[in-house]
A and B are shown apart, each in its own frame.
Chain A
Amino acid sequence: MKMTGEYELPAARQAVWEALNDADVLKDCIPGCELFERDGENGFKATAVAKIGPVKAKFNGSVQLSDLDPPNGYRISGEGQGGVAGFAKGGADVRLADAEGGGTRLTYDVDAQIGGKIAQLGQRLVNGAAKKMADQFFENFRKKLSPDEA
């Protein structure tokens, strides 16, 4: 599965960059996230509940940050086991740039793979579900960066 997107965020590039590296911010923004804590210098342990079509599962896994280029972007990648539901793994290249009217433009480029029951039953629904989760994440993230709305 591949997905790309772009969001305008109402904050300076440095502030966005810091938020993107803040485990608490990420935990609050990832839909269904129950645990997101630092595990090593650029790693995190994570637990999140995801629902794709008829399959709902709790994914336990790890997240790694790499290609760190402050404050311009990084690659965030991870893999999670959803028990009988199967597995998901993948990553996203995230780039930050100054937006024309102020604020920051975030672009992302995701590639992901799913396997097991989640692929057998939900493949057709994955793109939609992933897009929805991404939108939800960035909506939450945008709110975090807009103190008025927080």
Chain B
Amino acid sequence: MSKTGIGAPVRRLEDHRFITGAGNYTDDVNIAGQAYAAFARSEHAHASVRKVDASKAMKVAGVVAVFTGADLEKDAIGPLPAGWMIHSKDGSPMNAPGHPCLVQGKARYVGDPIAVVIGETQAAARAGAEALEIDYDVHEAVTDMMKTASSPIQLHDGAPKNTCYEWELGDKAATAAAFKQAKHVTKLQIINNRLVPNAMEPRSAVGDYDSGTGVSTVYTTSQNPHVARLVMSAFLNVAPEHKLRVIAPDVGGGFGSKIYVYPEEVVCTWAAKKVGRAVKWTAERTESFITDAHGRDHVTTAELATDERGKILALRVHTTANLGAYPSLFATCVPTYLYATLLSGQYDIPAIYAEVDAVYTNTVPVDAYRGAGRPEATFVVERLVEVCARELGIDPATFRKRNFVKKFPHQTPVIMMYDAGDYAASLNKACDIIDYKGFGKRKREAARRGKLRGIGFSTYIEACGIAPSAAVGSLGAGVGLWESAEVRVNPTGNVEILTGSHSHGQGHETTFAQLVSERLGIGIDQVSIVHGDTDKVQFGMGTYGSRSGAVGMTAISKALDKVEAKAKKIASHLLEAAEADIEFKDGAFSVSGTDKKVTFPEVALNAYVAHKFPSSEIEPGLKEGAFHDPANFTFPAGCHICEIEIDPETGVSEVVNWVAVDDFGIVINPMIVEGQVHGGIAQGVGQALLERAVYDDSGQLVTASYMDYCMPRADNLPSFKVDTTVTPCPSNPLGIKGCGEAGAIAAPPAVINAITDALGHENISMPATPQAVWQAVRKGMAKAAE
């Protein structure tokens, strides 16, 4: 392994600029003469807007303009669309009303933008927004996803029963038959709590319009600027695609919430043209709480059927998924194809049947959030398996191993074809590292200190490397999910990689450079990664679903193949040898069997000087591009084990021990991978113990600040023991599976399995706050006393 190649724990190249304040985020972008936008948002969860009176607002000093939904309508600026078609089980297409960028008719959640005020300063814009007089006709709101389908309150004319779709996957009859044969059935009611994404950098947009060229430019906090440009041009009519430039500079965390196109960047881009100057908006933290797409929010009934030996026969699931007030861009695929397709977990389950009802409520739209469907699936499967093992009196590790998929490829009953893995290997390694055999001793020792100690497993699987285009197209996706790359070799031999992936914390500038370093034998300091600008990179699908390694780097690798092939041709002329005799190794081309060689930078220079080869045979220059469409999803999997100590007097749960053994296939940079695992576990522990977005009955989000929404902090977490096992991914040449979401997927069931193990009973929901745990302890004591 070279010091900077594949597998090297290289320090992140981008961190110097981030930690010295030299990053360039959207809010750092300032354009001469820029104005500021402030959005007047609905303070009611469900209300018709009868009138917006801007007369007082226009008199506020520094207010430049006020626009409402009617102004957008006049310019035919379309509503935000749903990007993934789901059909209900009766064959009918989903009900997916568009989301106007400024309210037209009804506001459907607290935070729905009604009007925008453009001001000379941020203060003037905000003062103007406050001076707007909005006349509401307030309607009753519905926030409870279990009541909305039968509620007399209707959110959308085009969505009867407030329902987007009633979808199914799997074989209903075969599953029912298997349940009839079952010796044991484990049944659980599971709530997957609603989360607020809380990226450190709030969303922001700066729109600008060049009247000379007719080009609109928007700087925006996006995980996928090309998709944003496509949606804004093809669906929203903001500007034609060739007259719209979308730039996503440094982005400070996304976790999914920055995949989607939001009203604010559309309005800023459009308004810049209207007022003839750049328009900037940056969310306040409260705005982030009430406008960033939330995550999760499922209510599920799940049943697992087993035979007398504890062999799983079938799984049956009914899930209600809250989509919020509108279908956000990819929201409809999250509780369906990103969820139910993973319900087989790591297990060989002969029959699975899942029903998913997706419903609208007067709450912020819900969409993909770190893991997106797979955490919800993993939570269902891993809770069921743990409880089932306990009910049958089988050790939970043994029960899992008995049911693991052992032969690959493995076709599950829910679409996915697992290509490679060794689930027992990660489980065994995790058990060794945590000293599973010694747990009883640790539990007794904790009891002497008055603590209840529990252990919980999570053997998760997820689908990453999203995704084979034809496959997702057949399932309803509105786009293909390939990736593009371009390798530009400069005459001096350094290299620019243009990628359609987008880094917002993943460290692409380092890992992508490591791939180039490995392949071309040049230092990582000789490589620049260019991303996030639609004027530089031709097209790309962006970063989510842990796809940048498996899909994005494979595209780079393919372009590097072409660069290498051409460079070899040029080298053969420089070395006056047959191309077949040229070998490329450690950054130099040599004639095999001789000491004649030429370095990669020398070849690069000659490619551009073009003196030493016939241009009729070889074009000058050294620049190649590639598109890569993956052949399959990738299937990262692993085992997390969590140990918890509960103080029965206070209900406080302390995570005291955590082992993660993940199989991410080939790892490019183990330090970055470990960082991704740490961050994911922290978010998963946050979901399990601390975080929950709560609406009151009238539709007010009552957890809209850090006073009431509890994020995990360093002191909520132990030092993690992170390790890996490796089965290379067969569907891409680099063998990469992806690691970005694994921690957030694996962690919640590990925590809840540990807590329920400690408490000795199962009935606890996330977040397992001290209050909930304390009550569970008291209930347990009452039960014991009976």
Contacts and interface: CB of A to CB of B under 8 A. Distances in A.
Nearest to A113: B698
B130 A83 contact: yes
Contacts of A86: 43
A127 to B, nearest CB: 12
Interface in A100-119: 113-117, 119
Interface string A64-89: 00000000000000000001101100
Contacts of A113: 698
Nearest to A117: B286
Given A115-B698, A115-B700, A120 B705 contact: yes
Nearest to B44: A115
A121 B706 CA distance: 9
Q: Interface residue tally of chain B, by bracket?
A: 10 to 19
Nearest to B286: A120
Interface in B115-139: 126, 129-130
A22 to B, nearest CB: 31
A140 interface: no
Contacts of A124: 702, 707-708
Contacts of B700: 114-116, 119-120, 123
B290 interface: yes
Interface residues of A, number: 15
B755 to A, nearest CB: 25
Nearest to A123: B702
**Majority secondary structure of chain B interface residues (helix, strand, loop or mixed):** loop
Contacts of A119: 110, 696, 700-702, 704
A116 B130 contact: no
Contacts of A120: 110, 286, 289-290, 700-702, 704-705
Given A120-B704, A123-B700, A115 B286 contact: no
Given A115-B43, A115-B698, A116-B43, A121 B130 contact: no
Contacts of B708: 123-124
B709 to A, nearest CB: 10
Contacts of B130: 83-84
Contacts of B704: 119-121
Interface in B23-52: 43-44
A91 B522 CA distance: 74
Nearest to B708: A124
Interface string B753-786: 0000000000000000000000000000000000
28 contacts: A83-B130, A84-B126, A84-B129, A86-B43, A113-B698, A115-B44, A115-B110, A115-B698, A116-B110, A116-B700, A117-B43, A117-B286, A119-B110, A119-B696, A119-B702, A119-B704, A120-B110, A120-B289, A120-B290, A120-B701, A120-B702, A120-B704, A121-B704, A121-B707, A123-B696, A123-B700, A123-B708, A124-B708
Given A117-B286, A120-B702, 8 more contacts: A53-B707, A87-B43, A115-B44, A115-B698, A116-B700, A120-B700, A121-B705, A123-B700
Interface of A: 53, 83-84, 86-87, 113-117, 119-121, 123-124
